[in-house]
């Protein structure tokens, strides 16, 4: 696969894999909120789109789901294959159709911190709806629009590509308003069931007390659960 998308190629992937492990923002803040909105997955077919290093794929397959993880970085797809041995990990660009996943084949789709990297989010969400069974769920997380606004300044309403450091590497993503995040899901044929702006969990208070206090007042992620109307 030509690696021309915004996936975390090479060093960016390896840096992310290390950071997304045990005690970072992903593990202690965003992932618990995502897992709460996903709920019980025992016996379900679940696609983890943009599965990164396979942290969620490993948890979901250990919890009884049949997981297909899709990842655009070959470095991360390799790491995920080892981290989540029971999951089927596919190296694929999410800006392209998910031809290897049949219509109505999934009970659930999780897309954690990925949608803001994609070129054509409406087409992608259309693919998510296509592969979901009627009534299937989508749990999607993204950066909190006000956190990006606070960091980059300028107009909150100026939707644009922004770049942030990822250790020695960089990542590029789209700053979106909250209404764009929510309305694109609705426009793709979903009913939004729940939206969460996560508060820090107790485990973070002991491990990173300053970060815990900051996250109590400054949201940095938003997580949405939606149902496919079909």
Chain residues in the site for ligand SAM (CB under 6 A): 5-8, 16, 20, 26, 50-52, 55-56, 71-73, 76, 93-95, 112-114, 117-118
Tokens 């990164």, residue? 52
With respect to ligand SAM, which residue has the nearer C-beta, 111 or 188? 111
With respect to ligand SAM, which residue has the nearer C-beta, 25 or 188? 25
Other residues' Cβ atoms within 10 Å of the Cβ of residue 25: 18
Q: Which helix (H) or strand (E) holds 111?
A: strand 106-112
CB of 148 to ligand SAM, least distance (A): 14
The sign of the CA dihedral 80, 74, 103, 230 is positive
CB of 204 to ligand SAM, least distance (A): 17
CB of 7 to ligand SAM, least distance (A): 3
Cα separation, 206 vs 186, whole angstroms? 38
With respect to ligand SAM, which residue has the nearer C-beta, 113 or 188? 113
CB of 73 to ligand SAM, least distance (A): 4
CB of 107 to ligand SAM, least distance (A): 18
CA neighbor of 223 nearest in space, from 162, 137, 106, 161: 137
Q: Which helix (H) or strand (E) holds 142?
A: strand 132-143
CA dihedral 37, 43, 49, 54 (to 10 degrees): 90
With respect to ligand SAM, which residue has the nearer C-beta, 97 or 230? 97
Cα separation, 26 vs 22, whole angstroms? 9
With respect to ligand SAM, which residue has the nearer C-beta, 3 or 229? 3
CB of 47 to ligand SAM, least distance (A): 12
With respect to ligand SAM, which residue has the nearer C-beta, 45 or 127? 127
CB 62 within 8 A of CB 41: no
């Amino acid at each position: 696969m030509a690696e021309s998308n915004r996936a975390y190629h090479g060093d960016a992937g390896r840096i992310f894999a290390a950071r997304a492990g045990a005690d970072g923002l992903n593990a202690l803040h965003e992932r618990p909120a995502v897992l709460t909105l996903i709920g019980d997955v025992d016996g379900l077919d679940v696609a983890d789109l943009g599965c990164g290093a396979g942290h969620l794929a490993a948890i979901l397959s250990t919890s009884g789901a049949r997981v297909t993880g899709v990842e655009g970085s070959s470095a991360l797809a390799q790491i995920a294959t080892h981290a989540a041995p029971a999951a089927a990990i596919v190296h694929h660009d999410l800006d392209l159709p998910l031809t290897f996943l049949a219509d109505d084949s999934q009970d659930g789709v999780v897309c954690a911190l990925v949608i803001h990297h994609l070129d054509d989010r409406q087409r992608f969400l259309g693919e998510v709806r296509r592969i979901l069974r009627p009534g299937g769920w989508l749990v999607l997380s993204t950066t909190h629009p006000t956190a990006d606004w606070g960091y980059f300044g300028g107009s909150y309403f100026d939707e644009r590509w922004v770049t942030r450091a990822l250790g020695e590497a960089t990542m590029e993503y789209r700053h979106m308003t909250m209404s764009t995040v929510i309305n694109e899901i609705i426009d793709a044929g979903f009913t939004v069931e729940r939206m969460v702006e996560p508060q820090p969990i107790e485990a973070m208070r002991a491990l990173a007390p300053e970060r815990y206090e900051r996250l109590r007042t400054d949201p940095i992620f938003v997580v949405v659960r939606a149902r496919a109307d079909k």
